[in-house]
Structure 1
Amino acid sequence: MGVISNKIEKDVLKPGDHIYSWRNAYIYSHHGIYAGEGEVIHFTRGAGHEIGTGTSLDRFIFSSSSSSTGADGTHCQRCGDQSTLDGVISSCLDCFLSGGDLYLFEYSVSPVFFLAKARGGTCTLASSDPPSDVLYRASYLLEKGFGGYNIFKNNCEDFAMYCKTGLLVLTTLSVGRSGQATSFLAAASAIVSSPLRYLTTSFTGLSFIAGGMYCVSRFLSDIGVRRDVVKLPVERLVESSDRIDEGEETAVGRLDESRG
């Protein structure tokens, strides 16, 4: 592996590895934790479980999930039909890859290497915990859940990175741990939010400024350097998620009563 590609072969996989596979012509990647014996634990959004945007993102996220349906319409003999499952699930490696190639997410990379990997969602400066801790978190969340899916704050990459590091973002105002989400937002705001854009009107100058802002934004958003993260035991994470869900249900119930 190197700066160009994180692609690996299946026979080098080890339990506890954070793996991913590109979807939709390399626009988005789906992430999970390899549990061994050809199984992957991952956070997904099934058909019929929309993310609430009311846009094509709902269909986009579903198309980025794993597939247990073959080209002839039959289901995987090992996994069955998982198309409607929602949340943390376990799939065979082939269903997780859904016809795509296999890539390994890298941890404890150097700042130079991180910035050289211009595409987000492939590596982090943060360190990984031992495989036993990673597998414990993934198995625990497979049973208890990982909260509600959110493309920017709680997606499949966030799940895998939490399993690997135990790090949770404290503030609700920023994106989660996902490098894909932070890269997208960094690219969108590189020119718009930069006061340096007024110093030049040439295409080369604007490209240089945009590239610099993009790299700085990505670097400062990585969980290995950002300050709004805390190490949280998986049991406390689930308890916190349950309290949030209960609060939302109570709020919805009160709203229905007021309407009635």
Structure 2
Amino acid sequence: MGLLSNRVARESLKPGDHIYSWRTAYIYAHHGIYIGDDKVIHFTRQGQEVGTGTFIDFLLVSSSPTQVPCTTCTPAEEDHGVVVSCLNCFLSGGILYRFEYSVSAALFLAKARGGTCTLAVSDPPEFVVARAKYLLEYGFGCYNVFKNNCEDFAIYCKTGLIVLDNVAFGQGGQVPSIIGGPLVAAPATLLTLVTTNIYGMAVATVSAVATYCVNRYVADVGSGKRRNVVKVSVEDLTRKLSTGLLQAIEPPPGAPHSVS
């Protein structure tokens, strides 16, 4: 694992790896699960990597890579967001990175931005691949870049964990990076404007960065700080998604979370 980069060589990939690739200008990363034989299962918005229905689409879509027709991959179905692609199509000319699991709190906080690692523990590779293949057949609900995106999909495949808030679930590590970064930077900018010396500017900047990192840590599914993180079987998840019913049960103190 690396502090500055999670870049890996193709030859080192193993089935069950959570991989990702940054898009233009590092605006966002696209995530998926490598299943072997040069294939990746990933979650999209009807075959498109991103889409929110808001003004932010201009930034996200403009950073999407231009897809070259592939003779190997099967075109995605319009109503099914989980797709399987060859590794080349998944990367779309980008660099290959591997998402890290079971990282220490120190390493997590030292990372420059979200969407690269988690404190959560990965399940065995065979469980990961089985979840990904099951979701390829039955789906992962409606894609939403803020609530249910490709990173949420990959983390769920790796851990079986999702974030539930009433009937909504999701929000992966790169969302706080896209939204939280500018929000945290705003106070630092204001403090800088009223600061008259370099020391004050440094304090303001460090304070903003520290706040951002701590917020990311608390939001991580493996931090143990969130009461709305639950472990759900893939069969149970898809059944409840298909019926529109998904409700978290508050467990007794010390008991693992469950979903009904």
With the shorter chain as reference, the TM-score category is: 0.7 to 0.9
Cα distance between partner residues in 1 of 2:212 and 2:50: 30
The question of whether the paired residues in 2 share the 8 Å contact of 1:175 and 1:181 is answered with no
Task: Say whether residues 1:166 and 2:160 are aligned partners.
Answer: yes
Aligned to 1:113: 107
- Partner amino acid for 1:127? V
Q: Which piece of structure 1 moves more, 110-119 or 164-173?
A: 164-173
**Mean alpha-carbon deviation: is it higher for 214-223 or for 202-211?**
202-211
Q: How far off is 1:192 after superposition? A: 5.8
Cα separation, 1, equivalents of 2:20 and 2:49: 22
Query: 2:102 aligns to what SS in structure 1?
Result: coil
User: Matched residues in 2 for 1:8 and 1:48: separation?
Assistant: 25
The normalised TM-score by structure 1 is 0.81
Question: 1:72-102 CA distances to partner (integer Å, 9 max, x unpaired)?
Answer: xxx2111154596750000000000001111
Out of 83-92 and 153-162, give the one that drifted further. 83-92
Deviations 1:109-151 (A, max 9, x none): 0011111112210000000000111011101100000001111
Determine the structure 1 residue equivalent to 2:254: none
Q: 1:180 aligns with which of 174, 186, 206?
A: 174
- Number of matched pairs: 237
Opposite residue 143 of structure 1, the aligned amino acid is: E
8 Å Cα contact 1:28-1:64 kept in structure 2 = no
Question: Residue in 2 aligned with 1:214?
Answer: 212
Deviation at 1:236? 1.1
Amino acid at match of 2:9: E
Does 45-54 or 125-134 show the bigger shift?
45-54
Give how far 1:56 is off. 4.8
After TM superposition, the structure 1 stretch with the greater mean CA deviation from structure 2, 37-46 or 78-87, is 78-87
Q: Which residue of 2 aligns with 1:152?
A: 146
Give the structure 2 partner of residue 253 of structure 1: none
Worse-superposed segment, 227-236 or 84-93: 84-93
Report the Cα distance in structure 1 between the residues aligned to 2:93 and 2:49, rounded to whole angstroms.
23
Taking a change above 3 Å as real, the CA distance of residues 52 and 184 of structure 1, as seen in their structure-2 partners, is closer
- AA aligned to 2:71 is Q
- The gaps in structure 2 that reach 5 residues or longer are 246-260
Deviations 1:163-195 (A, max 9, x none): 00000112159983411012333323326689x
Residue 191 to residue 97, structure 1, CA distance change in 2 (3 Å):
closer
- State how far apart, in whole Å, the 2-side matches of 1:44 and 1:4 are: 27
How many percent of aligned residue pairs carry the same amino acid?
A: 50
TM-score with structure 2 length normalisation?
A: 0.81
